[in-house]
Amino acid sequence: MRVFITGGAGFVGCNLAAHHLSLGNHITLFDNLSRPRTANNLAWLKKLAQTQTGVLQTYVGDIRREDELREALDLAQPDLIVHLAAQVAVTTSVTNPREDFEINALGTFNVLEVARNLPKPPAVFFASTNKVYGGMEEVAVIEEATRYRFRDFPNGIDEHQPLDFHSPYGCSKGTGDQYVRDYARIFGLKTVTFRQSTIYGPRQFGVEDQGWLAHFIIATVMGRPLKIYGNGKQVRDMLHVRDLIAAYDAAWRNIDRVSGEIFNVGGGVDNTVSIWAECGPMLEELAGHDIPVAYSETRPGDQPIFVSNNAKANTLLGWQTQVKLWDGIQELWHWVKDNRHLFA
């Protein structure tokens, strides 16, 4: 199998590449290496590839440049494109909406156009986001002692939730989301869209604007200050990167049946946590001491709660989450501690 991964040196991309290397597949990574520390992931992958049966090729390029993308895909001739390259921060989209649009909307359009015009068009998987549902202000939320909860959606939000693109990031990712779906309907390209919740796991270099759990752990391990936006009761369902990769694998196995589908994929109701009121004590237990934090105003567009209803993916893909939240948090904690030199 030949797999082409945009953003392949990023957190999800390098984990996905490592998975396919272990299966003996041919991997092409396409990345502009603009994110801090992606070079560390690339170096790790190149070393790993020496011990695996799969083949790793890398191409430094930018999805905003169709010519670079076309050149790489002409050489790779993949069976599957997993499109992960993105501008990922809501805050950055507000300060630089043009760059956000060019990467997330135009970049995704470029991937689709090049893919459909290859001699043998590959399948395309797109990493979308639950942010396409916006702030969901119309969904009733109840505040409890340590968390928010949905009043009327005990099993979480499914794919029937109305789209409401909030923030330039929501607009740009939502544009890509809908283009990917429509290219299956109009051009017959085999596509699957994954509206992903909070993904976490090893090799995540989280920062304040993205990858919050990894950011909290890195700051705690390195003794750096932490700021919590809002009251810390905001709830997220946490999906371990290995479970996300398992969802991609399940979609590939069923691609003829699920082409054109959109799936909410998250940790679900069994893997929820509030970002500080509940997560904070977990990290303090691991650290063995109190963790001081500062509080600030809630950021615009921040959902008080998002929990993914995975029923559609459970049914059509036969996919279930396997990694329990506490196990995954401990794994990430120990990875950060064992790799402190990467965060110096």
Q: Delineate the domains of the chain, giving CATH numbers in brackets.
A: 86-343 (3.40.50.720)
pLDDT value for 209: 85
The residues, any chain, with a CB within 8 Å of residue 123's CB and separated by 6 or more, are: 79, 80, 81, 189, 190, 191, 192, 252, 255, 259
Burial of 117 (0-12, 13-18, 19+ CB in 10 A): exposed
Task: Read off the amino acid at residue 286.
Answer: L
| Active-site annotation holds for 169 | yes
The one catalytic residue among 169, 183, 200, 248: 169
Q: Is the pLDDT of residue 257 over 80?
A: yes
pTM (two decimals): 0.96
d(CA 104, CA 181): 15
The CA-CA-CA angle for residues 325, 331, 335, to 5°, reads 145
301, pLDDT greater than 80: no
DSSP 257-273: HHTTEEEEES--GGGEE
28-71 pLDDT tens trace: 999 999 988 899 999 999 999 999 999 999 999 999 999 999 99
Task: Give tens-digit pLDDT for 104-139.
Answer: 999 999 999 999 999 999 999 999 999 999 989 999
Q: Is the pLDDT of residue 89 over 90?
A: no
